């Protein structure tokens, strides 16, 4: 296998060194280090094949990491890719965007012994991208078509993983999504510089070629009812994710140019996909030459600040009410953002948005940390008379997401939800309180991770299959 053919990039090294936010966007080229076979082999060979695979235990999919590392070290890339696919529906996506420092790599024995982790995510990405490049990844070929069908609401990773697993057994699958493209947050949430969109489209196209039907621009609750889907299909999966942005009701919150994170990120992703986006093209949702303030300390906030840098913002500041140690986002993402010139204003919270029609500045209050609250993190409390003002042309609110009111949206008050609005399921069968309707992904867990959505999608596929078999058996028995 020639090195040239296996040339690939290493996402870990995408961070440009000490790049400043003011740098012209035309010059803003991602620095990709080549992740060629030799690198993959070198990393894979570092795996000590320790008796207790902590990496595997801490991967939500329990990927057989030591074995695919061994295969990669031996040059058996196709087998490594097949093994990676046996537990994961989109390994190249997880390899790119899993917070490995909190999952597999953070628990690597070599990392724990102070010698630096095996870069598991990069190897996973390398072997799967190679498999795509070589044409080893093929659509599903059905041996025996089943006469039953499953309707899936939501084309995010949970819905897609379930669809693939269900289709493999021969069931008919239709996915309904309110967006015009499948992928959920993979397509319109996670920025292009972390997850290139052709990678997502390659996967969803494969599912189409596998016979899975996509009904896009179908908003269940508006264009279709849950009841209709229940009648049409033998089982239904709700995998709608969580989309209601958390708000801050401060004086001045109605001023122009204050946006929720998803609006900003969707506009940027749509532009990357070649769409016309009116508010972006008019300069409203575009950070170019603007002073940007992002409020929040999670990974979505990091995606916003790093997107703003790439849009050639004049300055990018991230306001967070706790300190670095108590931040919910990944430490690696904060480090990347800092390297790119983002300024973190720790222990600070907005008190008032100032401006006549549009936002022009934010009044900020300094905070200090008290004892830990119920979340286990130290509680921020305001420092009296500590206010200061900071210039802002565009404010992005990245304060997290809650579920929409699904019983209301689906006009089905019987659907049981938790006090947080997430769907309640039977943890064993993943069925909601309505027979034949299942739920998975963020809409059950609350905002989580892609790898957990895939895990849920795979798990619920097993439960749906059991349900369908029993339904068919009962029908035959009754006939």
Ligand X SMILES: Cc1cc2nc3c(=O)[nH]c(=O)nc-3n(C[C@H](O)[C@H](O)[C@H](O)COP(=O)(O)OP(=O)(O)OC[C@H]3O[C@@H](n4cnc5c(N)ncnc54)[C@H](O)[C@@H]3O)c2cc1C
CA atoms within 13 A of residue 333's CA, in its CB half-sphere? 24
Indicate whether 153 belongs to the interface with ligand X (CB under 6 A): yes
Q: Determine, following the binding rule CB under 6 A, whether residue 329 of this chain makes contact with ligand X.
A: no
Enter the tokens of residue 36: 């060629």
Q: Beta strands of 189-338 (E only): which ranges?
A: 213-215, 235-238, 244-245, 258-260, 291-295, 315-319
Check binding of 43 to ligand SF4 (CB under 6 A).
no
Q: Looking at beta carbons only, is 121 or 221 nearer to ligand SF4?
A: 121
- Enter the DSSP assignment of 26: G
Binding mask 345-364 for ligand SF4 (x = CB under 6 A): --------------------
**Per rule CB under 6 A, is residue 219 in the interface with ligand X?**
yes
Return the structure tokens found at 418: 């938790």
Over 34-80, what HEC string results?
A: ECCHHHHHHHHHCCCCCCCCHHHHHCCCCCCHHHHHHHHHCCCHHHH
Q: How far apart are CA 160 and CA 176, in angstroms?
A: 11
Does position 177 interact with ligand X (CB under 6 A)? The reply is: yes
Distance between CA atoms of 160 and 183, rounded to whole angstroms? 8
Site residues for ligand X, window 78-137 (CB under 6 A)?
97-98
What is the Cα–Cα distance from 440 to 415, expressed in whole angstroms?
14
- Contacts (Cβ under 8 Å, ≥6 apart) of 469: none
Q: Does 40 engage in binding with ligand SF4 (CB under 6 A)?
A: no
Q: Which stretch binds ligand X (CB under 6 A): 143-151, 179-187, 226-234, 380-388?
A: 179-187
Residues 6+ apart with CB under 8 A from 144: 170
Applying the rule CB under 6 A, the residues between 424 and 463 that interact with ligand X are 441-442, 448-451, 453
Beta carbon of residue 196, minimum distance to ligand SF4 (angstroms, whole number): 17
**Token pair 């500041």 is at which residue?**
317
Q: Which member of 81, 100, 300, 312 binds ligand SF4 (CB under 6 A)?
A: 100
163 binds, among ligand SF4, ligand X, none (CB under 5 to 8 A by kind): none
Helix, strand or coil, per DSSP, at residue 124: helix
Considering only the stretches 37-45, 138-146, 172-180, 362-370, report the one whose residues sit in contact with ligand X under the rule CB under 6 A: 172-180
Considering the complex, what minimum distance in angstroms separates the CB of residue 98 from ligand SF4?
Answer: 3
98 binds ligand SF4 per the rule CB under 6 A: yes
- 95 lies in the site for ligand SF4, by CB under 6 A: yes
Q: Contact 419/136 with Cβ under 8 angstroms?
A: no
**Please, what is the minimum distance in Å from the beta carbon of residue 26 to ligand X?**
25
The closest alpha carbon to 203, from 188, 217, 186, 216, belongs to: 186
| Binding-residue pattern over the window 423 to 462 for ligand SF4, x denoting contact by CB under 6 A | ----------------------------x-----------
Q: Which residues neighbour 103 within 8 Å (Cβ) at sequence distance 6 or greater?
A: 58, 59, 60, 451
Which residues between 118 and 147 bind ligand SF4 (CB under 6 A)? 120-121, 124
Which residues in 52-71 contact ligand SF4 (CB under 6 A)?
Answer: 59, 61, 63, 65
Nearer to ligand SF4 by C-beta: 91 or 252? 91
Q: Which does 184 bind (CB under 5 to 8 A by kind): ligand SF4, ligand X, none?
A: ligand X
The smaller minimum CB distance to ligand X, of residues 331 and 372, is found at 331
Size of the site for ligand SF4 (CB under 6 A): 15
Q: Which residue has the tokens 């070198």?
A: 42
Output phi, psi for 169, to 5 deg.
-85, -5
Tokens for 101?
A: 């420092």
185 binds ligand X (CB under 6 A): yes
Q: Residues interacting with ligand SF4, by CB under 6 A?
A: 59, 61, 63, 65, 88, 94-95, 98, 100, 103-104, 120-121, 124, 451
Q: Residues interacting with ligand X, by CB under 6 A?
A: 97-98, 153-159, 176-179, 184-185, 189-190, 194, 219-221, 239-241, 265, 299-300, 303, 409, 441-442, 448-451, 453
């Amino acid at each position: 296998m020639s090195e040239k053919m296996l040339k690939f990039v290493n996402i870990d090294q995408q961070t440009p060194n000490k790049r400043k936010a003011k740098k012209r966007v035309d010059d803003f080229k991602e620095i990709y280090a080549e992740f060629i076979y030799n690198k993959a082999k070198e990393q894979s060979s570092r795996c000590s094949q320790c008796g207790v695979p902590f990496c595997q235990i801490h991967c939500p999919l329990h990927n057989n990491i030591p074995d695919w590392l061994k295969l990669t070290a031996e040059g058996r890339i196709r087998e490594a890719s097949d093994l990676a696919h046996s537990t994961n529906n989109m390994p190249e996506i997880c390899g790119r965007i899993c917070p490995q420092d909190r999952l597999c790599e953070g628990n690597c024995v070599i990392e724990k012994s102070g010698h630096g982790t095996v870069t598991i995510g990069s190897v996973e990405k390398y072997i799967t991208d190679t498999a795509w490049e070589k044409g080893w990844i093929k659509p599903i070929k059905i041996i025996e078509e089943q006469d039953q069908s499953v309707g899936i609401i939501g084309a995010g990773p949970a819905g897609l993983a379930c669809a693939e697993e269900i289709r493999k057994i021969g069931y008919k699958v239709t996915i309904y999504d309110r967006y015009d493209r499948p992928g959920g947050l993979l397509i319109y949430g996670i920025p292009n510089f972390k997850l290139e969109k052709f990678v997502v489209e390659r996967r969803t196209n494969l599912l189409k070629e596998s016979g899975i039907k996509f009904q896009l621009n179908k908003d269940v609750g508006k264009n279709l009812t849950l009841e209709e889907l229940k009648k049409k299909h033998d089982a239904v999966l709700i995998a709608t994710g969580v989309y209601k942005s958390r708000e801050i009701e401060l004086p001045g919150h109605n001023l122009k140019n204050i946006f929720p994170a998803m609006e900003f990120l969707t506009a940027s992703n749509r532009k990357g996909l070649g769409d016309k986006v009116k508010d972006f093209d008019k300069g409203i949702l575009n950070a170019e030459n603007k002073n940007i303030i992002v409020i929040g300390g999670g990974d979505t906030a990091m995606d916003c600040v790093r997107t703003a840098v790439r849009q050639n913002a004049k300055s990018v500041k991230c306001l967070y009410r706790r300190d670095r140690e108590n931040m919910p986002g990944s430490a690696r993402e904060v480090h990347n953002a800092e390297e790119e010139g983002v300024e973190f204003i720790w222990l600070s919270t907005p008190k008032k948005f100032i401006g006549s029609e549009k936002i022009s500045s934010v009044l900020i209050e300094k905070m200090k940390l008290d004892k830990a609250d119920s979340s286990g993190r130290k509680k921020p409390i305001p420092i009296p008379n500590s206010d200061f003002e900071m210039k802002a042309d565009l404010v992005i609110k990245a304060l997290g997401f809650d579920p929409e009111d699904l019983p209301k949206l689906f006009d089905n008050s019987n659907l049981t939800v938790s006090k947080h609005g997430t769907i309640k399921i039977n943890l064993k069968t993943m069925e909601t309180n309505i027979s034949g309707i299942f739920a998975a992904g963020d809409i059950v867990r609350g905002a989580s991770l892609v790898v957990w959505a895939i895990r849920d999608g795979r798990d619920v596929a097993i439960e749906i299959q059991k349900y369908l078999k029993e339904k068919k058996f009962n029908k035959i028995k009754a006939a």
